[in-house]
């Protein structure tokens, strides 16, 4: 294992400004991402410099690099002016511009709200120096002004980074809405005491969503999780058994739709033919959305949470049902600052454990291949520590690696002490080793 990357300050005579050499992964075109060393300018009075300690590899980043310039959030000129990728990241505040000296303190931890209000541009998609797949980055003043840089006192770096994944789940459930009887007003959120289904819900995000539903104040009566991946579905069933659903007052069911010719009658039968008040699409194939459309109840709401990299993605919708049953179709991506605060509080209060879905860790040198081949890789969530060089490594391999490397032996022990999951103790061991 190698030492921390050193950030080198140099002087740019052409601009007369200090610059800082960093390492980061930048997007140049379709599936053209490169780990490079390059210079970023010294911050201005309304900017903040961040040291990135943890970055989660998101499936949405794979969609981003697959579309490149055709992605709505990515500039057209990335071949000449590449952008930093990565939007699930945390770390420490290194330098604060004079405008923000009263609001932020150097040395404090931070988390970013990836979706910036009233704009399509966002970190990890649109900026040359603002993304998580790097050793350092710069937060622009207008982003800070909109409340998207949140300072934190506590929390492991992986917890803060994964809060960015959780906040989008929180937002999706707040985004659903239903009609208020006798009024044109809407009630935000899922229907209390109703039927909720998460289609394709056995992945890392689905796992967070299940846990979130069980911790809600306004719970559904019934929560159904579907997934065609048998192994993945069984794994989630073991992590969150149906008995745990009962303890929270929720009827929890796990269904593999591939076991029947047509899953719709089966799914409807579970609701006594009433249908589902809230449908969440957590898998991109159009057939999943089409099933969701067929099982909606009166005044039902379907949320497209997952999508493909295909900008011509289409699915058949029952317009007749929308007309007479008043069903609604919405989409959600990202969320509000309040959603991030809620996600952070859930983690801090131990109601959500963001480590549940983490299966691999790695260093900055693992970002390119992990992102490019994310779909083909085993396991679930992959997290990166950009300050170090470390191949992408499965947590389940720590013990074997520990036979020859004492650091991995320590990591294996730390994970064993926490039910086999990644944890703050393991993170501390890892980062302290690389500080040497």
- Model confidence pLDDT, tens digit, residues 342-391: 999 999 999 999 998 899 999 999 999 999 999 999 989 999 999 999 99
What was the pLDDT predicted at 182? 87
**Phi-psi group of 21: left, alpha or beta (phi > 0 → left; psi -120 to 50 → alpha; rest → beta):** beta
Confirm whether 40 is domain-assigned: no
Confirm whether 274 is domain-assigned: yes
Say if CB 283 and CB 306 are below 8 A apart.
yes
Confirm whether 214 is domain-assigned: yes
Q: What is the mean pLDDT of the chain?
A: 93
Confirm whether 306 is domain-assigned: yes
**Domain containing 215: what range?**
177-331
Residue-wise pLDDT tens digits, 222-265: 999 999 999 999 999 999 999 999 999 999 999 999 999 999 99
Say if CB 214 and CB 242 are below 8 A apart.
no
pLDDT exceeds 80 at position 185: yes
CA distance 333 to 247: 31
CA distance 140 to 132: 14
pLDDT exceeds 50 at position 13: no
Residue-wise pLDDT tens digits, 106-121: 999 999 999 999 899 9
pLDDT above 90 covers what percent of the chain? 85
Confirm whether 110 is domain-assigned: no
What was the pLDDT predicted at 430? 97
Cβ-Cβ contacts under 8 Å for 270 (sequence gap 6 or more): 195, 222, 224, 253, 255
Q: Which position has the higher pLDDT, 311 or 351?
A: 351
Instruction: Name the DSSP letter for residue 398.
Output: H
Of residues 170, 114, 163, the one with CA closest to residue 143: 114
What was the pLDDT predicted at 144? 97
Confirm whether 347 is domain-assigned: no
Confirm whether 271 is domain-assigned: yes
Residue 304: CB atoms within 10 Å:
21
Residue 13 has which token pair? 């005579």
Ranges of beta strands (E only) in 154-250 are 177-179, 186-188, 195-199, 222-226
Count of positions (residues) in the chain: 436
| Strands lying side by side in the sheet with 296-304 | 251-255, 222-226, 195-199, 276-281, 296-304, 328-331
Q: How far apart are the first and last CA of the chain?
A: 10
At residue 223's C-alpha, the angle toward residues 220 and 225, to 5°, is 155
What was the pLDDT predicted at 316? 85
CATH number of the domain enclosing 233: 3.40.50.720
How many distinct structural domains can be found in the chain?
1
Of residues 257, 173, 185, 183, the one with CA closest to residue 217: 173
Residue 403 has which token pair? 């036979």
Confirm whether 163 is domain-assigned: no
pLDDT exceeds 50 at position 5: no
CA distance 378 to 108: 35
Residue-wise pLDDT tens digits, 29-77: 999 999 999 999 999 999 999 999 999 999 999 999 999 999 999 999 9
Average pLDDT over residues 401-406: 97
Residue-wise pLDDT tens digits, 132-184: 999 999 999 999 999 999 999 989 999 999 999 999 999 999 999 999 988 88
Cβ-Cβ contacts under 8 Å for 69 (sequence gap 6 or more): 29, 30, 75, 76, 78
Of residues 262, 205, 255, 204, the one with CA closest to residue 233: 255
């Amino acid at each position: 294992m190698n030492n921390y990357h050193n950030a080198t300050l140099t002087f740019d005579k052409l601009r007369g400004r200090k610059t800082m050499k960093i390492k980061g992964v930048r997007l140049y075109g379709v599936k053209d991402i490169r780990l490079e060393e390059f210079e970023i300018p010294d911050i201005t009075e309304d900017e903040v410099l961040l040291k990135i300690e943890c970055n989660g590899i998101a499936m949405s980043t794979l969609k981003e690099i697959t579309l490149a310039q055709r992605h709505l959030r990515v500039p057209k000129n990335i071949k000449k002016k590449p952008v930093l990728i990565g939007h699930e990241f945390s770390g420490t505040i290194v330098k604060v511009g004079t405008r923000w000296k009263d609001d932020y303190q150097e040395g404090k931890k931070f988390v970013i709200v990836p979706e910036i209000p009233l704009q399509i541009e966002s970190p990890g998609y649109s900026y040359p120096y603002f993304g998580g797949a790097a050793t350092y980055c710069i937060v622009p003043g207008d982003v800070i002004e909109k409340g998207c840089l949140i300072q934190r006192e506590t929390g492991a770096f992986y917890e803060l980074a994964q809060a960015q994944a959780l906040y989008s789940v929180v937002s999706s459930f707040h985004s659903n809405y239903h009609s208020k009887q006798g009024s044109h007003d809407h009630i935000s959120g899922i229907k209390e005491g109703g039927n909720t289904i998460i289609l394709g819900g056995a992945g890392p995000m689905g796992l967070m969503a299940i846990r979130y539903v069980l911790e809600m104040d306004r719970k559904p009566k019934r929560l159904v999780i579907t997934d065609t991946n048998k192994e993945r579905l069984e794994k989630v069933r073991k992590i969150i058994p149906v008995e745990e659903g009962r303890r929270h007052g929720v009827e929890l069911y796990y269904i593999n739709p591939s076991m029947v010719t047509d899953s719709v009658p089966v799914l409807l039968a579970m609701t006594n033919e009433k249908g589902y008040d809230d449908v969440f699409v957590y898998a991109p194939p159009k057939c999943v959305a089409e099933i969701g459309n067929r099982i909606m109840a009166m005044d039902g709401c379907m949320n497209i949470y997952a999508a493909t990299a295909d900008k011509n993605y289409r699915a058949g919708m029952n317009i007749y049902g929308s007309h007479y049953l008043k069903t609604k179709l919405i989409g959600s991506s990202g969320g509000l600052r309040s959603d991030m605060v809620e996600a952070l509080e859930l983690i801090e209060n131990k109601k959500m454990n963001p480590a549940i879905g983490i299966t691999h860790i790695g260093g900055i040198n693992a970002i390119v291949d992990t992102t490019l081949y994310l779909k083909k890789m085993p396991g679930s969530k992959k997290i990166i520590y950009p300050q170090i060089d470390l191949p992408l490594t499965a947590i389940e391999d720590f013990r074997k690696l520990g036979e020859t490397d004492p650091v991995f032996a320590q990591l294996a022990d730390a994970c064993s002490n926490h039910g086999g999951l990644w944890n703050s103790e393991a993170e501390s061991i890892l980062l302290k080793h690389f500080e040497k």
